[in-house]
Amino acid sequence: MPKIRIDNQEYEVPEGANLLESCLSAGLDLPYFCWHPAMGSVGACRQCAVVQYQNEEDTRGRIVMGCMTPVTEGAIFSLTGDKASGFRQAVIESLMLNHPHDCAVCAEGGECHLQDMTVMVGHRDRRYRGLKKTHRNQYLGPLVHHEMNRCITCYRCTRYYRDYAGGTDLAAMASHDHVFFGRHDEGTLQSEFAGNLVEVCPTGVFTDKTLVGQYTRKWDLQSAPSVCVGCAVGCNTVPGERYGKVKRVHNRFNAEVNGYFLCDRGRYGSGYVNSDTRLPYPGMRGAEGRFTALNHHDALAEFERLTVGRRVAGIGSPRASVEANFLLRSLVGSDSFAPGVSEQEQPSLQRATALMRSTPARVPSLADIESADAILVLGDDVTHTAPRVALALRQSVRNRAYELAADMKLQPWQDAAIRNLAQEQRSPLVSVTPGSTRLDDVAERTLHLAPGEIAEFAFAVAAALSGGDSAGNPEAAAVAQMLRDARRPLIIAGTSLCEEALLDGAAAVAGALVSREADGTRAPMLSLVVPEANSLGQALLCGDDAPDLATLTARAEAGEIETLIVLENDLYRRGTGEEIDRLLDAVTTVIVLDGMDSATCSRADLVLPAASAIESEGTVVSMEGRAQRYYPVFVPGDERHSSLYWLLCCLKAADHKHFVDINHVDEVIAACASAVPALAGIVDAAPGGSYRSHGVRIPRQPHRYSGRTAMRANISVHEPKQPQDEESPLAYSMEGLNRDEPGSLLPFVWSPGWNSNQSLHKFQDEVGGALSGGTAGARLIEAAGPTTVPEAATPSSIDAATLELIPRPAIFGSDELSARSAGVRDLMPDAYLELSVADAKTLGVEAGDGVVLGGSDTAFEVRIDPSLRRGCVAYAPGLNGCIGLVPRSGVSLSMAPDWKRRDADLIARDGQEGSLS
Amino acid sequence: MTELSTTLFGLLIIGAAVGGAAVLTWFERRLLGIWQDRYGPNRLGPFGIFQVLADMLKLLTKDDWVPPFADRFVFILAPTVIVIVMMLGFAVIPFGPELQVIDLNIGLLFFLGMSSLAVYSVLLGGLASNNKYALLGGLRSAAQMVSYEVFMGLSLMGVVMLAGSFSLRDIVLAQEGLWYCIPQFLGLVTFTIAGIAESHRLPFDLPEAEHELTAGFHTEYGGMKFAMFMLGEYVGLILICCMMTVLFFGGWMGPLLPPIVWFCIKVFVLICFFVLLRAAIPRPRYDQLMGLGWKYMLPLTLINLLFTGAFLLVMES
Amino acid sequence: MWEAIRSQLVTMWTILQHTFTRSETVQYPEEKPYLAPRYRGRIVLTCDPDGEERCVACNLCAVACPVDCIALQQATKEDGRWYPEFFRINFSRCIMCGMCEEACPTNAIQLTPDFEMCEYDRQSMVYEKEHLQIAGTGKYHDYNYYRVAGMAIAGKDKGEAKNEAPPIDVKSLMP
């Protein structure tokens, strides 16, 4: 590690870092704007200027940009010298020339990097007396608000949006002081990761639009470490709450999972917690069929009466925590507990889990995925099934550029230089899917095949890798060659197509890569995308023998089930309406524990309101097998309690022998870990409730949390005690210490002088590195199993004459919870069916026409995907109208009789907020 | 005096002492107000004198509450002790040539004995409250009283030696020519300081120092029991002033006016002086208080004794 | 020691001299003292010269408040103006320190020379926006925050605020 001297103080800095990173890592405050730890340096803003001296004798020195200066042994710098600080002051003064007097009405105020840096540099008085330049704003969709006047032209937004996230519709336009960052024409930002602009922008040009109507400053937000339950990636988040409402979600850094960025489903998908379809009180269905509200004591009594001593079955949920599912399974017995996924999905999920546990390849974290240098995507459009993985893949294709840069002895943070060098050269990514995907722009090769064919293709690649004859399939041979040439090849497949053979095929490719070369120079990775936040945890909990919904229906119809308990699950999204009706009709009593009103709740006899993931504690297992704990951000209102509470109370009332002495979340976790060997690791996901950092709890509120004596003064002027947290090491107050805690307990980032999210580096070992308290979560699937390569399986196939219904999830809409959130709801399309050009021609329909599925009278809008495999009809599960469609079933289509085309203009301009003139 | 008249006179003294103490609560506040450039209680009646009635009414109607964690018997006993012993102290005070409840030949010792017993009140009150502030107050009080008791008695020995008697009446009569405040000036100073400490008034109110101990030994007291502590304190103040009048300022003696008037005037002036002390002097630290007692006051009284003794020996020879 | 004794005696003498000085107390209910316009009493919310409410719900008063007795929630009007959906001051906690007024960037929150705020019921000390909002401009007559801020609102387009140039035409090629 080189030693450098800064202001006569010697520092040891990491090899290959730039000076700005080194200064920040050493705890020195050096202002900056354009540099970002995930995006490297371009030296655009000139804010991190320092003075470098040639040698000991040099007294004048010269000004260099910290972010563009590599640290070398013995280099001498000055941060505080007049020359450097004067230069920085001049730079910020010029950046502030046109900055409007907006802070009071700016959603960035109080966590603004520009405010922080202005204070840090010491610029106080505006000397400029001229006119400020102004800009018109653009409407950028329901998620991101644009206020161009505030821009300081650091170019972070376009660098993030275009270079990092691969978006195309946001750019820097015009020249000199007319530079404008926006779209060519007004409209919704197309990238699924546009929300990160809110965090990337150092000032208030891009702000969270869903926050602005109910705005709360950062210092007033109560927050706790949470995990996004929007998909199976398990991104770490920090939701912020005030007045009992979730205000916004920010990224919580996790070096191995989401890093600095979230997808828009994760960022904007928590609004469901504030939704008016939340259930506030337990409800008991009376004789006349109406629900009566109960208090929680009566509700518990009813719950016990309807459960204890009866023949009970339970349906869990892949979006509920491991603990809640475990308790329900303990209550009803493992052979009466269904995991709560659809009949089509369950075998795929079980297969995926088995393969992940047995594959000799590494099951990668997102950080591992970013290190891959050859990628084969099988089946899934990951941008829609596991969005954050897609953003990681966009980074992994850049590994070719970094290789080239290393040959040229360029440091990896030399962003502009590396992009210039690599141009369009990328690490190879091959996408084999039924239709076009959002990653096609970075794919070297795209193949469009039906699900069964994809599985066959995968086995062909595996065969080619194992030296088999691949002459008949040149594509497979080429892909095999690509994987063979890579050092860190990555195979990604998913359960979204409900095709077990496809998963087998992916595992076979990964297995073949491992067995082919055992010299350790190659580290193949196999990532299997599962659909929901805790799908994997649910599969690990239930094992392979868990009954599916059809089995339960059969047993119910045989009279073996009196009471059915449904945990946080809308069954009507897990099967056709007729199937679910049959199940619910066959049992005497239906008890539903859920946070939201749903079709299943309407069929229940007793509804217990469950707290959401943001109001409760629990563990979920992400698709990489990482168990992660989320903590309540606030105490749920009304009579809501976590499912864990309801179930544990019921278990104790039933005098269940294992649960008599269990009262604490930690004890439930421990019981779960000891009862289910596959889940033994969940105890290590986060410290237990008795953990204390420096002897005190970790505060959920920043130290300047305001309004404590007035917040609820309208209810009563007598202030109650702060709520006490009996379960977790966090406190519902500002008392405590947000320092040196494990990464899994980081409630928010703030450091003196660093009010914005850029203060994160104060919580990291070194800038951009892991959190100093350790990376959150515990991997349950770590060691590679024995080399078992699946045999070539026969993919399921349907009659070639009919069309096959292919589920292609949508980022906005396919997830049940986020679809009820304000911003996401606005972006949800109406139900549609995608057809290939050939099929559309056969049917005689064009894009925008309506079709009906054979046998039903629901009409769908037709979309044409030119790359869709012929014979496939794609739909987005979860959209209104698509609920109840059976994936992979054969269907016939016909023109909708009374279809009215929507006016195209109406769709394009749904919001008007001034226009470019 | 006959037995009946003695009894009546005793009752009169008790009434006067209690009444005096009650008025004193108002008077002290008014006086402090004057010295601190404000008014003090001035709203009720002429000059606010009915404030006394209002305070009494308030104290009498307050909930007579004993904390559940306290030692009930001792808790109730403690405030009564201080009132009783302070009242008994008045028995030996000669208010005039014939106005005395009982002229004990050990009158001075009786007074010292009674004032020493007062420490039990504070100590028991502090202990019985079962409260850390009260306990600390009680402890401080015990140490303070024991320390100041020592030279309080000694400071008076000069007077006794000059008068040749422990009878207060004799002592007053012995001051016919010269009040003892002149020859016994050191004795006066030390007795005054000891007197303040004994009645634990400001600046020596460390047992109840509100800045440190909430309200010290009477933290847990309220209503009538609290009132009795207060009564004890103010009666004690009057008693000390009476003793100073008797021992150093010639008791009832004075020209023209009747003896009892002279006595009252002297007592009144001394009370004003005590209030002035309260208005002017800050509370010392606890170690300073003890240091003052043992390191300065005790030697001073001993020196005073030595000189008085030497003076007497020289006079005799 | 002597110095200490002298000091105590001097103190006593000084205090004794105060027997003859006038009392500083003002006999309040009978005799009302003069209160300057900037006296720190009951808090009001004012309107700008155009008659619109000045408060933009920036939360700075709430965070400046040392006793945390101000709570509010921001909301947005049609034209983009920010305003408080509710604005609550718990006067039973307020210490009339005036920090909120100092912090206010829009001169909305102002303290007035009215301190007579007695209530038998503590709950009545909780003032909501309708109790706080007045129709006038209070002590500062001319200031209008939106005339200096860059945000566009109804009646003030981009570039129409003080010291602002007209909006840039990004499609122009002129230098």
CATH number at residue A41: 3.10.20.740
Q: Is A373 left (phi over 0), alpha (psi -120 to 50) or beta?
A: alpha
Q: How far apart are the first and last CA of chain A?
A: 55
Residue-wise pLDDT for A277-310, tens only, equals 999 999 999 888 888 999 889 999 989 989 888 8
Distance CA A320, CA A884 (A): 21
Residues 6+ apart with CB under 8 A from A860: A831, A832, A833, A850, A851, A852, A853, A875, A881, A896
pLDDT class of A665 with cuts at 50, 70, 90: very high
Contact C12 B276 (CB under 8 A): yes
CATH number of the domain residue A542 falls in: 3.40.50.740
Domain that holds residue A611: 282-341+532-616+638-660+667-675
Distance CA A362, CA A625 (A): 11
In the predicted structure, residue A906 carries a pLDDT above the cut 60: no
Residue extents of the structural domains in chain C = 39-148
Distance CA A492, CA A477 (A): 18
pLDDT class of A909 with cuts at 50, 70, 90: very low
C11 in contact with B at a CB cutoff of 8 Å?
A: yes
* Domain boundary, last residue among A42, A72, A95: A95
- Indicate if A370 and A440 belong to the same structural domain: yes
E strand map for A709-867? 730-731, 778-779, 803-807, 832-835, 850-853, 859-864
Chains that touch C (3 or more CB pairs under 8 A): A, B
Residues of C with CB below 8 A from A707's CB?
62, 65, 68-72
Is A71 within the bounds of a domain? yes
Residue A539 CB coordination number (10 Å)? 28
Reported as half-sphere exposure (CB side, CA atoms, 13 A), residue C104 has a value of: 23
Is A321 within the bounds of a domain? yes
Structural domain count, chain A: 4
Contact C73 A216 (CB under 8 A): yes
Q: Which of B139, B82, B137 is nearest to B115 (CA)?
A: B82
- Indicate if A315 and A372 belong to the same structural domain: no
Which of C5, C20, C23, C26 would you mutate first to test chain B, the one with the most B CBs within 10 A? C23
Look over chain C and give the mean of its residue pLDDT values, rounded to a whole number. Answer: 91
Residue-wise pLDDT for B193-240, tens only, equals 888 887 777 777 766 666 677 777 778 888 888 888 888 888 888 888
Residue A436 CB coordination number (10 Å)? 17
Q: What is the pLDDT of residue A653?
A: 85
Strand pairing report for A132-134 and C43-45: unpaired
In the predicted structure, residue B1 carries a pLDDT above the cut 60: no
Is A102 within the bounds of a domain? no
Task: Evaluate the omega torsion of the peptide bond into residue C66 and state whether it is cis, within 30 degrees of 0.
Answer: no
Q: From the list C71, C152, C165, which residue is nearest A131 (CB)?
A: C165
The DSSP 8-state label assigned to residue A377 in this structure reads E
Distance CA A417, CA A287 (A): 74
Q: What is the pLDDT of residue A797?
A: 63
Q: What is the pLDDT of residue A910?
A: 45
Is A586 within the bounds of a domain? yes
In the predicted structure, residue A571 carries a pLDDT above the cut 60: yes
- Indicate if A352 and A332 belong to the same structural domain: no
- Indicate if A521 and A381 belong to the same structural domain: yes
Mean pLDDT of B57-64: 85
pLDDT class of B56 with cuts at 50, 70, 90: confident
Q: How far apart are the first and last CA of chain B?
A: 40
Give DSSP secondary structure letters for A862-880. EEE-TTSPTTEEEE-TTST
Which of A709, A714, A719, A913 would you mutate first to test chain C, the one with the most C CBs within 10 A? A709
Please give the residue of chain A at the shortest CA–CA distance from C166: A134
Q: What is the pLDDT of residue B226?
A: 86
In the predicted structure, residue A386 carries a pLDDT above the cut 90: yes
Contact B39 C23 (CB under 8 A): yes
Interface list for A 66-125 with C (CB within 8 A): 100-105, 109-110
Residue-wise pLDDT for C21-74, tens only, equals 888 888 888 888 889 988 999 999 999 999 999 999 999 999 999 999 999 999
Please give the residue of chain A at the shortest CA–CA distance from C171: A174
pLDDT class of A916 with cuts at 50, 70, 90: very low
Residue-wise pLDDT for A98-157, tens only, equals 999 999 999 999 999 999 999 999 898 889 999 999 999 999 999 999 999 999 999 999
Is A34 within the bounds of a domain? yes
Q: What is the pLDDT of residue A917?
A: 36
- Indicate if A472 and A392 belong to the same structural domain: yes
- Indicate if A405 and A438 belong to the same structural domain: yes
Mean pLDDT of C127-139: 93
Distance CA A906, CA A35 (A): 40
Q: From the list A133, A180, A706, which residue is nearest C63 (CB)?
A: A706
Contact A100 C149 (CB under 8 A): yes
Q: What is the pLDDT of residue A620?
A: 94
Contact C24 B277 (CB under 8 A): no
Please give the residue of chain A at the shortest CA–CA distance from C150: A100
Helices (H) and strands (E) in chain B, counts: 12, 0
Which of C52, C55, C83, C90 would you mutate first to test chain A, the one with the most A CBs within 10 A? C90
Interface list for A 754-813 with C (CB within 8 A): none
In the predicted structure, residue A914 carries a pLDDT above the cut 50: no
Contact C70 A707 (CB under 8 A): yes
Please give the residue of chain C at the shortest CA–CA distance from A151: C150
Residues of B with CB below 8 A from C8's CB?
280-281
Contact C15 B279 (CB under 8 A): yes
C74 in contact with A at a CB cutoff of 8 Å?
A: yes
Give me Rg for the CA atoms of chain B.
20
Contact C16 B276 (CB under 8 A): yes
Q: Which of A149-163, A224-238, A804-818, B242-256 has the lowest mean pLDDT?
A: B242-256
Contact C23 B279 (CB under 8 A): no
Residues of C with CB below 8 A from B39's CB?
23, 25
Q: Which residue has the higher pLDDT, A613 or A522?
A: A613
Q: From the list B35, B277, B296, which residue is nearest C18 (CB)?
A: B35
The DSSP 8-state label assigned to residue B218 in this structure reads G
* Domain boundary, last residue among A507, A530, A553: A530
Smallest Cα distance from C105 to chain A, Å: 7
Which of C52, C61, C145, C158 would you mutate first to test chain A, the one with the most A CBs within 10 A? C158
Q: From the list A174, A714, A917, which residue is nearest C126 (CB)?
A: A714
Look over chain A and give the mean of its residue pLDDT values, rounded to a whole number. Answer: 89
pLDDT class of A55 with cuts at 50, 70, 90: confident
- Does the annotation place C69 within a ligand binding site? no
- Indicate if A442 and A518 belong to the same structural domain: yes
Residue-wise pLDDT for A715-765, tens only, equals 999 999 999 998 999 999 999 999 889 999 999 999 999 999 999 999 998
Q: What is the pLDDT of residue C68?
A: 94
pLDDT class of A516 with cuts at 50, 70, 90: low
Is A253 within the bounds of a domain? no
- Does the annotation place C118 within a ligand binding site? no
- Indicate if A373 and A517 belong to the same structural domain: yes
- Does the annotation place C55 within a ligand binding site? yes
Q: From the list C68, C151, C169, which residue is nearest A707 (CB)?
A: C68
- Does the annotation place C47 within a ligand binding site? no
Size of the B and C interface in Cβ pairs below 8 Å:
35
Is A127 within the bounds of a domain? no
Evaluate whether chains B and C are touching (3 or more beta carbon pairs less than 8 Å apart). yes
Is A718 within the bounds of a domain? no
Tokens of A886: 């059976």
Smallest Cα distance from A209 to chain C, Å: 11
- Does the annotation place C104 within a ligand binding site? yes
- Indicate if A465 and A608 belong to the same structural domain: no
Chains that touch B (3 or more CB pairs under 8 A): C
Residues of B with CB below 8 A from C20's CB?
none
Task: Please provide the CATH number assigned to the domain covering C39-148.
Answer: 3.30.70.3270
Residue-wise pLDDT for A400-443, tens only, equals 999 999 999 999 999 999 999 998 899 999 999 999 999 999 99
Interface list for C 102-131 with A (CB within 8 A): 105-106, 122-123, 125-126, 128
Mean pLDDT of A239-244: 93
